[in-house]
Amino acid sequence: MKNPSKIIIIDDNPDFRFTMEIFLKRNGFETLTAEDGQNGMDMIEKERPDLILLDVMMESIYSGFDVCKSVQSNPDIKDIPIIGISGMGAELGVSPDKKGDDDYFRVDEFFEKPVDKEKLLARIKELLVEGLVRKGKAVRIHDRVYIKK
């Protein structure tokens, strides 16, 4: 059996971490959890997860925005796809900017709470493949992705 993909859940809300952990495990993923940005960052560097599920508006000093910036500026981990999650949405001016303006945060996908679990699952699967392509472990030819042996 192939190794399951490893997903890290970084959120200061223990209920959300617990729920997501159960959801992801039951869908065949391995999970890691961290309750703040600093711990999350340490774990990412040590464990090299395949995907980051990140609450961008955590109350800790080292926020989700900081995690985004740290991951994306570190060549060793910058290819890991990030899914941003927040209860704050467009009505409070929180929205990801995929163009990468410095004033905004850049994520591969953004979900507002409450998260639609089915949509999240579909996007996780797509982004895991995208992560492989970025790392050079797979190639995209037209619309198809070929995983290197």
Partner 1 sequence: MDYTGQQITSSRSGLGEEKPTDGLMIPANNSKAIDGLGFRNIIDLLPCYLSIQDRSMHILFANQNFKDDFGEGIGKLCHKVYKGSPERCEFCPVQKTFKDRKVHISEETVQLSTGEVADMIVYSSPILNASGNVAAVIEMSTNITKVKEMQKELKILGQSIAILSHDIKNILEGLHGGAYVVDEGIKDGDMELAAKGLDIVKRNITEISSMAQNILYSSKKRDLKYREVSPNEMVRDLVDLFQEKANAMDIQLKHETNHAPPLVSLDPMSIRRMLENFIWNALDACKKDKEKDFHAVVVRADLHDKFHFKFEVEDNGVGMDEETKASIFDEFYSTKGGHGTGLGLLIVDKIVKEHGGKVEVLTTPGRGTTFRTIFRIN
**3-class state of residue 129 by DSSP:** helix
Backbone φ, ψ for residue 89 (5° rounding): -125, -155
End-to-end CA distance of the chain: 15
State which residue, 20 or 132, has the beta carbon closest to partner 1: 20
**Least distance to partner 1, CB of residue 98, Å:** 22
User: Interface mask (CB under 8 A) for partner 1, residues 71-100, using x and -?
Assistant: ---------------xxxx-xx--------
Residues from 31 through 60 that contact partner 1 (CB under 8 A)? 55, 57-59
Q: If we measure between CA atoms, which residue out of 61, 48, 63, 67 comes closest to residue 8?
A: 48
State which residue, 16 or 132, has the beta carbon closest to partner 1: 16
Which residues 6+ apart lie within 8 Å of 117 measured at CB? 23
**Least distance to partner 1, CB of residue 8, Å:** 18
Residues from 118 through 147 that contact partner 1 (CB under 8 A)? none
User: Interface mask (CB under 8 A) for partner 1, residues 6-25, using x and -?
Assistant: ------xx-xx-xxx-xx--
Q: What is the DSSP letter of 80?
A: S
User: Interface mask (CB under 8 A) for partner 1, residues 97-116, using x and -?
Assistant: ---------------xxxx-
Q: Is the CB of residue 23 less than 8 Å from the CB of residue 65?
A: no
Q: Residue 83 has which token pair?
A: 């899914």
Cα separation, 56 vs 77, whole angstroms: 18
Residues of the shown chain interacting with partner 1 in the complex, contacts defined by CB under 8 A: 12-13, 15-16, 18-20, 22-23, 26, 55, 57-59, 86-89, 91-92, 112-115, 117
